[in-house]
Amino acid sequence: MEERNASYSPECKEQKHVHEIVGSTSTVGDCRDCHNHRFCTVSGEAIREGKSHVHEVTFRTDFADGHFHEFCGKSSCAIEVGGGKHVHFAKAYTDCEDGHRHEFQAASLIDSPLDFKCMD
């Protein structure tokens, strides 16, 4: 707890929202050696971009076929889904490990799913 309080600043603005992101990578390899990976992460806080925002996305996949992969990048801008909520999309490639990399695409979950704005 000491370490956390040591970096606290009263000038620090309120934390912005984050999103959960879960997904699977594409499959690579021939039929005898094909595999894919799964991942789960929480995005970084909102980063203003034009009239919208993006999030940093960083994850390490599960360990499959003797290795794992990592990714660090950004999400798309916000995609409105109604009720004052939005999601983000990410489509990219993992790093190269064991001589290959995987493509993935994932949509974030909405933040605060139980906190919908009432629509009259």
Which residue ranges of the chain lie beneath pLDDT 70? Answer: 1-14, 113-120
Share of the chain above pLDDT 90, in %: 69
Three-point CA angle 20, 25, 26, nearest 5° = 150
Tell me, what's the pLDDT at 30?
Answer: 77
**Separation CA 53–CA 45 (nearest Å):** 10
Tell me, what's the pLDDT at 16?
Answer: 79
81-113 tens-digit pLDDT: 998 899 999 999 999 999 999 999 999 998 776
The closest of 86, 76, 79, 78 to 116, measured between CA atoms, is: 86
Q: What is the pTM of this model?
A: 0.78
Tell me, what's the pLDDT at 102?
Answer: 96
Sequence ranges of the domains in the chain: 15-107
Report, at the CATH architecture level, how domain 15-107 is classified. Answer: Beta Barrel (2.40)
Tell me, what's the pLDDT at 112?
Answer: 73
